[in-house]
Amino acid sequence: MIPNDIKITPQLVAEHGLKPDEYQRFLHLIGREPTITELGIVSAMWNEHCSYKSSKIHLKTLPTKAPWVIQGPGENAGVIDIGDGTAIVFKMESHNHPSFIEPYQGATTGVGGILRDVFTMGARPIAVLDALRFGSPDHPKTRHLVSGVVAGIGGYGNSFGVPNVGGATGFHSRYDGNILVNAMAVGIAKADEIFYAKASGVGKAIVYLGSKTGRDGIHGATMASAEFDDKSEEKRPTVQVGDPFAEKLLLEACLEIMAAGHVDAIQDMGAAGLTCSAVEMGAKGDLGVELDLDKVPCREEGMSAYEMMLSESQERMLMVIKPGHEEAAEAIFQKWGLDFAVVGHTTDTLRFVVKHQGEVMADLPIKELGDEAPEYDRPWIETPPQQRIAPESVAAPHGNAEALKKLIGSPDLSSKRWIWEQYDTLILGNSAVRPGGDAGVIRIEDGPRGLAMTADVTPRYCEADPFEGGKQAVAECWRNLTATGATPLAITDNLNFGNPEKPEVMGQLVGCIKGIGEACKALDFPVVSGNVSLYNETNGVSILPTPTIGGVGVMADVAKHATIAFKAEGEAIVLIGETAGWLGQSAYLATICGREEGAPPPVDLAIERRNGDFVRRLIASGKVTTCHDLSDGGLAVALAEMAMAKGIGATIETLPAGPAHAALFGEDQARYVLTVPAAEADTVIAAAKAAGVPALAIGKTGGASLVLPGEPALAIADLRKIHEDWLPSYMAGKAA
């Protein structure tokens, strides 16, 4: 039991993640020395993870509105209207630090938390995605971390019963001490039945829902707002423990209680647990909150107010219930075997009062806890630009066929089947496109409409030029959706960076946000939700700037979606977009030449839009049989992926101008590869010309090999073996 009258020392303040000036700010706010519970509460509310104190001023510059946006940032998840009274609810969040400390539970609770964010809004989850970044394959911890994280994501998602339809996985030594686990959840709801966290009315009951409170996860949010060092594993007790079966019950109970009309406001207990959820609900409604912790269902004996307020035990909700609905609401939760306890009420005092065993443990101004959180305009330094690398200046160390084999068997570009086959990708029966392509696609309810979703970023571009890298991350997300035939509608972003107190890191964050904002404006692709994860560094080594972009798009007829697999022999292969052979920051330069340098490819957003809109119209017309956007590894890797997807080969007869290795492996943006029936090729190229879109017929499908100009034929079976073998071999301990 932690007594509430502990003397507050500078050391104790520092252990709670507050800087001396922040503590003074708090003292000024309350006019006295806080109790230990109050110190814990402000530590939870004012850490980076909950307050966005380093990023808030920059996030406000992002475009968040569009006619189809029902709810933008500021709630548990973003909501967009897709017509016919249907809304899509989605968000992405990080569980980086917990997953490094305890990979299985860290990843598990990352998935659980993001699913709760979605169903708190009144939506039924229909899909999850994950974007993962691990350290170098030869680092002693990497294999263990991959194994634990993947098992955790699969263990929770599979048990809860939601398909995992896509994502991304990469490896780089800069993530050796700080992996990234970004989880995205997508749900469906009626557009006029969205639930919010804003409480209304005085004297309404505040109800605790779900699983019991334990001592797991205490200081979880504070831990997520700190750098790591060699002793980071000692923070294992700050990692929560998830129970997907309890969460499934919580989902069904919440949706039932919502449908029955009992709910005034609802908020999931995520970061900072009971503290954050209660404060946010009250503050948003301009109300005070009084809690009686004697009523909180606990699974451990002798828990103090401090522990209960800071616990991040999973599968819990806080709800403000409509007057007179308590009994009916409780009956629903009892039916589902979950705790339902009235733990407080709303007041007109604008105070956050916490009582335990007849004593007042905390009495704080509720609005100021959020509104007066520190907000920093931290100094930042623009990332110095790198020189453009001329394609002709890069000598090819290998033949192009050999280089292609090395690339598709490299850690980043090899098949991630070993990962996604551990996930249930088909549960609920609506998956139309499984992982392995540009984007996952699911049927919306009974159809005919479909929903495409993806999550991606190219960190090496963001490191070299944060502004262009931020633009590119959004553009690639938009292209991934477009390549399926979907109309991109909105994004969620997960901004993963190092220590914002370092001007060079803050410069990366500012640059990426500017790039993201510009791309979202140009592509009518607003940001509706997101998460910022800072202090991702260990012993002073920062991760690569990694602003993961998750996007969703809608197609009118899910049956008319495009995939990356070649469909038939004898079809024309058409390259859409301009190829200059850009090798700076390319996978080719890094993997084949051993050089991570140069300016990344520039992103012309007007061209992205023009080319993408054209491709989408073509897919809708039914002329396109296959579509794949070009990204990592350029044209050659895209062709190999298309050939391997169904086992149909291709002969490439014509390449864009310039050195062959640059044309094949350059990563110029705004490009797609299509296949069309041979008889349609001229028509498609003429249509492209009329739309001002560069289009080049480069070859035809057929055979059992991929043949590049002037290179020995590459048997598809051999390519597939190289592509599929690396990850399972590595995880079996055979490769590094």
Taking the C-alpha atoms of residue 228 and residue 178, their distance in angstroms, rounded to an integer, is: 8
Taking the C-alpha atoms of residue 225 and residue 73, their distance in angstroms, rounded to an integer, is: 20
* Degrees, nearest 5: CA angle 530-534-535: 160
Question: Looking up tokens 């292209």, which residue turns up?
Answer: 479
By C-alpha distance, which of 64, 192, 169, 80 is closest to 451? 80
- Order the strands of the 351-356 sheet from edge to edge: 263-268, 316-321, 205-210, 339-347, 288-292, 351-356, 359-365
- Give the strand pairing for 180-190 and 288-292: unpaired
Taking the C-alpha atoms of residue 266 and residue 262, their distance in angstroms, rounded to an integer, is: 11
Tell me how far the alpha carbon of residue 214 is from its chain's centroid.
Answer: 28
Taking the C-alpha atoms of residue 166 and residue 487, their distance in angstroms, rounded to an integer, is: 18
Peptide bond into 448 cis (omega under 30): yes
By C-alpha distance, which of 651, 645, 644 is closest to 702? 651
Residue pair 615/672 in contact (Cβ under 8 Å)? The answer is: yes
User: Phi, psi at residue 624, to the nearest 5°?
Assistant: -95, 130
By C-alpha distance, which of 535, 541, 538 is closest to 226? 535
Residue 396: helix, strand or coil by DSSP? Answer: coil
- Order the strands of the 124-134 sheet from edge to edge: 69-71, 78-81, 86-94, 180-190, 124-134, 164-171
Tell me how far the alpha carbon of residue 733 is from its chain's centroid.
Answer: 29
- Give the strand pairing for 695-701 and 572-576: antiparallel
Taking the C-alpha atoms of residue 734 and residue 736, their distance in angstroms, rounded to an integer, is: 7
CB atoms within 10 A of CB 15: 13
What torsion do the CA atoms of 628, 633, 635, 637 make, to the nearest 10 degrees?
-70
Q: Tell me, yes or no, if 95 is annotated catalytic.
A: yes
Which one is catalytic: 16, 49, 356, 628? 49
- Order the strands of the 695-701 sheet from edge to edge: 626-629, 672-676, 572-576, 695-701, 650-652, 705-707, 714-715
Taking the C-alpha atoms of residue 377 and residue 327, their distance in angstroms, rounded to an integer, is: 49
Residues 6 or more apart whose CB falls under 8 angstroms from that of 9 comprise none
Taking the C-alpha atoms of residue 40 and residue 8, their distance in angstroms, rounded to an integer, is: 11
Taking the C-alpha atoms of residue 485 and residue 441, their distance in angstroms, rounded to an integer, is: 10
Burial 459-475 (b: 16+ CB within 10 A, else e): bbbbbbbbbbbbbbbbb
Which one is catalytic: 95, 172, 262, 723? 95
DSSP character for 385?
Answer: P
Residues 6 or more apart whose CB falls under 8 angstroms from that of 523 comprise 474, 475, 478, 488, 605, 608, 609
Which pair of structure tokens corresponds to residue 517? 């904002």
Q: Please provide the size of the chain in residues.
A: 736
Residue pair 420/151 in contact (Cβ under 8 Å)? The answer is: no
Q: What is the identity of the amino acid at 268?
A: D
Catalytic center residues: 49, 95
